[in-house]
Amino acid sequence: MTAPVLLLLTHDATGAVVSVDQVDPAKPHVSVADLSATRGDGIFESVGIVGGRAQALEPHLERFARSARMLDLPAPDLDVWRSAILRAADLADEPETELLAKVIFTRGVEGTGVPTGWVHVFASPSYRAAREGGIRVVTLDRGYRSDVADTSPWLLQGAKTLSYAINMAALREAARRGADDVVFVSTDGIVLEGPNSNVIALIDGVYVTTPVELGVLKGTTQGAFFADVEARGAKVEYRSMTLAELQGASAVWLSSSGRQIAAVTELDGVPMAQDPAITPVELAALLAR
Amino acid sequence: MTAPVLLLLTHDATGAVVSVDQVDPAKPHVSVADLSATRGDGIFESVGIVGGRAQALEPHLERFARSARMLDLPAPDLDVWRSAILRAADLADEPETELLAKVIFTRGVEGTGVPTGWVHVFASPSYRAAREGGIRVVTLDRGYRSDVADTSPWLLQGAKTLSYAINMAALREAARRGADDVVFVSTDGIVLEGPNSNVIALIDGVYVTTPVELGVLKGTTQGAFFADVEARGAKVEYRSMTLAELQGASAVWLSSSGRQIAAVTELDGVPMAQDPAITPVELAALLAR
């Protein structure tokens, strides 16, 4: 069993990191007044570490910086965060095990103006069943129009915040409906993303995903998937998809940093078309990154 | 200066409290893997303590239990929580100072199934300027229809969760617009609530607030305000209000546990009608509870 690794990034009031310290993850390190714990007020990334390699590190750091801007947090010093993630991965020293690095940056203890940060590396749960057998998915209304990222930036759509209670509630609702995961749909019928994933659909021979302009996260694993299929000569497209298009796709996957990709076998209780030739090839390519 | 008081409620896997311990609030007590800190996955109440008295304690506990149900958390043992809040207020022993008790219940450290809980009592910030001079408010789109609590319960509207990043972002947006606070409006034009408050409007001689069926929190201070004005012979009503009605009201207040009430002096940059006779009377009544 992999021993978790925890690095704390101590900041000063300017938002600069003054030290990075390895500490015991079994002990508490967060104040009850930290705005992460009281308000979900902060941002995160989950970086997959496979074969000792932190995957899609630059896209993760770029998205981390974008989330910080959207939340009016100090700009994270990406060089320091990159080093911390690589050092934590190195300290975990488990090339045979898939790991996850939770990279967290919060508004800090209320009233101090000093952000809090940490990198926590631990063994991934097993994704074998989902990767090999696929997942049953339900669609759930996200309650927002597909244009809210433009009209109402304070709703923080497209930022990866620590306020994930709705995402967790959506996953519990999926379980109640006998499903494994969720695809959120906008009130105007546009396919958005999963609570922890992006949606990739194969439609008329083209791999399609929802563009970030519609308030979804920029997918790091989806980006790697697209790069790989493009290198094999396939076409990719970022465009809005209706629910009807998703239902009629030749195949659908959810992509995420830990699980990589999982084929959707059932959508709202209806068996989905699948392409059993693609999933293992792409999964292998994603794991080999 | 009031010394903060912190009581930790240690739970077992059944969700029962096994001990309540006073600990040093200056030290960290939350794990980096606690789902409060990583997912905003938990609930809270902010209880005002004035003259040593925990205000609206039963309405707060009732709402706490309702939030727990909405998030599929174990039912909090309200007798234990009530005792802990009263004990923390007692330990703070500051009858001359207004205090706040943050009452927090989280899904706990990921993977353990054991909830985390605490009661943190500390001195309130000063609300004098807002109470005496009123507040400038902007309306912001919440992005949801007014019926989402019915149609889409996984959006957790009406639960007081730890996922408040959007509420905090809305307050920053208000500050950017030169205002002090926010009233959220639904996409169908219905007045909802503030990020930390309820809306009370005096319309045609009747005190009106938004009903919980529209996905707002049940106001504990608003409830006390309504009870007081009813006792003085005024009429109160729970009904949906349009933005136009709010703009045309004889007076508007935002009510919350710490600040109690603050009169709205300006709505979206337009001076609001006010009733300077009511505010000090109701404020005194609320503080005397």
pLDDT at B94: 83
Across the interface, whether the CB atoms of A40 and B172 are under 8 A apart is answered: no
Report the gap between the CA of B170 and the closest CA in chain A (Å): 5
CA distance B121 to B23: 12
- Give the tens place of pLDDT for each residue, A207-251: 999 999 999 999 999 999 999 999 999 999 999 999 999 999 999
The answer to whether the beta carbons of residues A276 and A131 sit under 8 Å apart is no
Other CB atoms within a 10 A radius of the CB of residue A239 amount to 12
Q: What is the pLDDT of residues B53-64, one digit of tens each?
A: 999 999 999 999
CATH 3.30.470.10 placement within chain B: 5-123
B126–chain A Cβ distance below 8 A for any pair: no
Tens of pLDDT along B230-240?
999 999 999 99
* Contact status of B6 with chain A (Cβ, < 8 Å): yes
Looking at the complex, report in whole angstroms how far the Cα of residue B38 sits from the nearest Cα belonging to chain A: 6
Counting DSSP H helices and E strands in chain A, the numbers are: 9, 14
Mean pLDDT along residues B186-194: 98
Nearest chain B CA: its distance from A27 CA (Å): 7
The b/e string for A117-138 (b: 16+ C-beta within 10 A; e otherwise) is: bbbbbbbbeebeebbeebbbbb
- Asked if A44 is an interface residue toward chain B (Cβ–Cβ < 8 A), one would say yes
**Does the beta carbon of B12 lie under 8 angstroms from any beta carbon of chain A?**
no
Within chain B, which residue ranges are assigned CATH 3.20.10.10? 128-287
Residue B242: pLDDT over 70:
yes
Residue with token string 């030169």:
B178
Number of Cβ within 10 Å of residue A91's Cβ equals: 16
Inter-chain residue contact A164 with B28, CB threshold 8 Å: no
> Could you report the per-residue pLDDT of A115-134, keeping only the tens digit for each?
999 999 999 999 999 999 99
* CATH code for the domain defined by A5-123: 3.30.470.10
Burial class, A206, CB count within 10 angstroms (exposed 0-12 / middle 13-18 / buried 19+): middle
Rounded mean pLDDT of B98-118? 97
Question: What is the share, in percent, of chain B residues with pLDDT greater than 90?
Answer: 97
Task: Report the candidate in B208, B201, B205 with the shortest Cα–Cα distance to residue B237.
Answer: B208
Nearest by CB to residue B155, choosing from A27, A39, A166, is A166
Q: What is the pLDDT of residues A55-85, one digit of tens each?
A: 999 999 999 999 999 999 999 999 999 999 9
Mean pLDDT of chain A: 97
CB contact under 8 A, A44 and B36: no
CA separation for the pair A247, B246 (Å, rounded): 43
Cα angle B101, B56, B280 (rounded to 5 degrees) comes to 95
- Position A2 scores a pLDDT of 75
Residue B96 is predicted with a pLDDT of: 87
Q: Where are the alpha helices (DSSP H) in chain B?
A: 35-39, 57-70, 78-92, 128-133, 148-151, 165-176, 220-231, 243-247, 278-287
The per-residue pLDDT for range A174-195, each reduced to its tens digit, is 999 999 999 999 999 999 999 9
A38 close to B (CB below 8 A): yes
What confidence tier does B1 reach under pLDDT thresholds 50, 70, 90? Answer: low
Q: Where are the beta strands (DSSP E) in chain B?
A: 5-11, 17-23, 42-50, 53-54, 99-106, 116-123, 135-141, 181-185, 198-203, 206-209, 235-238, 251-256, 260-267, 270-271
* Token duo for residue A216: 């979804």
Distance, C-alpha A215 to centroid of its chain = 14
Nearest to B57, CA basis, from B107, B11, B119, B131: B119
Cα dihedral across residues A222, A225, A231, A235: positive or negative: negative
Min Cα–Cα distance to chain A from B240, Å: 19
Q: Which one of B25, B72, B165 has the shortest CB-CB distance to A40?
A: B165
Q: Over range B123-142, report the average pLDDT.
A: 97
Q: What is the ipTM of this complex?
A: 0.97
Q: Would you say B7 and B87 are in contact if contact means Cβ atoms under 8 Å apart?
A: yes
Reported CATH class of domain A128-287? alpha beta
pLDDT band at A1 (very low <50, low <70, confident <90, very high): low
Amino acid at B102: K
Name chain A contacts of B32, Cβ cutoff 8 Å. Answer: 6, 25, 29-30, 102, 104, 118, 120
pLDDT value of position A189 = 97
